[in-house]
Structure 1
Amino acid sequence: MPDTTPAPSTVLPALPALSAQAERLIELGVHETAGLSADEVRAFAAQAAAGADADGALLAVHPDRAPASALVPLLRRDGKPGFVVVDMPDVDAFAPCALELPDAPLYLVTGVVRGDHMSNWSPDEALPALTEEGRSPLVLSEGVHWVLQQPEALERNLCFMTIGSRLRKPDGTLDARTPAIWISNGTGRDGRERRNAPKVGWCWWNNRHTWLGFASTAGRRG
């Protein structure tokens, strides 16, 4: 069984208002990547803000419209752009697994948490626990959106996995790699120039990591 001792955690500030999140995506050009106009993004945010679950919600673009490979370089930490590890050239093939995203270009992700209490759990241990709690693991693109809007969500020794995304192999089985977002130490193939940069990499399905929680959501709606 995993260590259930609670990990030290930081209380994160509330996410910006949906209108501010919309402007952030527009500023970064995400709407253009997604084939949307700025007005469409603003209109969705305004309409969604009227919902009962809008407070603290994350505005996300469907990964079919804005894949992780297009979003990760927009991340910044210490002035350094985010990057995907070199041995994950298939990052965009990691698709939602055993969960459904809203069939819409834009949607809300509600009640997002980093899952610090599951640090040092394996994905295999964390997934059933999240399911029992009535929560759904974030997919990779949602995790990237979260850090784009709230860089504080990524801290040294308090980073997170996004196990809602998995890669299905040609034979139908799941690849043992699971995506995660953390902070580079600038070692190995990352390169010293990338020290402290946001990093998308992967971990094995059955491995535990003391610095990785399991980001999840209470729900999604289009």
Structure 2
Amino acid sequence: MPETTHATSAVLPALPALSAQAERLIELGVHELAGLPAVELRTFAAAAEAPAGGESALLAVHPDQAPASALAPLLRRDGKAGFVVTDMPDVDLFAPLDTVVLPDAPLYLLTGLDRGDQMANWSPNEALPALTAEARTPLLLTEGIHWVMQQPAVLERNHCFMTIGSRLRKANGALDARTPALWISNGTGRDGRERRNAPKVGWCWAGNRHTWLGFASATGRRVQNL
């Protein structure tokens, strides 16, 4: 495996309470994108709320209900809206890997989130088996977007992340070599200067390494507290 650039991932602020996360999604109109009444998000969050001192979790909407192309523009950084790179028009065709099992529900929770800073300068092909060996599941692109929606500080220069749980399959069944990621635009090239510092959904090759990209993962997904 490649040499790691950090011993562990940075300690990030705690996620908001699930009730606050539900209100954030409602404020952004995610419930309307997903075709869900606001009361359903509030009820789910209230039922799944962790007790004081309990494990925090991220509230996510199933990607079938709210695709990445609709969620990305809701991201904000320095007052600028998020966007998907122009050479990723098929972003919504990136689906969960066969090893990633999603709850059969419109709303679910992710636990034990980690940005994967310790894997910076690894390639996606190297990181995936390592995460699997640690019993961690890679985040989907939509899950990564939800994380940044609720905790914008998770996306910072030189410490952004890939979401390799989402991949595109070619007609022959092989995986497309692109792997999705979330980072901050420099406002160069086709991004446009007006998008400098905006949150960006892009992609990297599965065999390439980047010193500024970790690999976001979680310990699991569930629909309610056990």
Q: TM-score, normalised by structure 2?
A: 0.95
Aligned residues: 222
Hey, what does 2:23 align to over in structure 1? 23
Q: Which amino acid aligns with 2:92?
A: D
CA distance in 1, matches of 2:40, 2:53: 21
Deviations 1:126-170 (A, max 9, x none): 001100111000000000000000000000000000000000011
Per the TM alignment, residue 9 of structure 1 is displaced from its structure 2 partner at its CA by 5.2
Contact (CA 8 Å) 1:7, 1:119: kept in 2 or not? Answer: no
Structure 2 CA distance for partners of 1:53 and 1:146, relative to 1, 3 Å: farther
Root mean square deviation of aligned Cα: 1.6
Deviations 1:179-219 (A, max 9, x none): 00000000000001000000000000000000000000000
Contact (CA 8 Å) 1:147, 1:153: kept in 2 or not? Answer: yes
Mapping for residues 175-194 of structure 1, pairs under 5 Å: 175-194=176-195
Contact (CA 8 Å) 2:139, 2:217: kept in 1 or not? Answer: yes
Partner SS for 1:11: coil
Contact (CA 8 Å) 1:18, 1:57: kept in 2 or not? Answer: yes
Partner SS for 2:175: coil
Per the TM alignment, residue 4 of structure 1 is displaced from its structure 2 partner at its CA by 2.1
Hey, what does 2:3 align to over in structure 1? 3
Structure 1: gaps spanning 5 or more residues? none
Partner SS for 2:2: coil
CA distance in 1, matches of 2:108, 2:78: 29
**Structure 1 runs, 4 residues or longer, greater than 4 Å off:** 50-54
CA distance in 2, matches of 1:104, 1:53: 26
Hey, what does 2:72 align to over in structure 1? 72
Contact (CA 8 Å) 2:9, 2:114: kept in 1 or not? Answer: no
Hey, what does 1:44 align to over in structure 2? 44
Structure 2: gaps spanning 5 or more residues? none
Structure 2 CA distance for partners of 1:215 and 1:29, relative to 1, 3 Å: same
CA distance in 2, matches of 1:66, 1:32: 9
Q: TM-score, normalised by structure 1?
A: 0.97
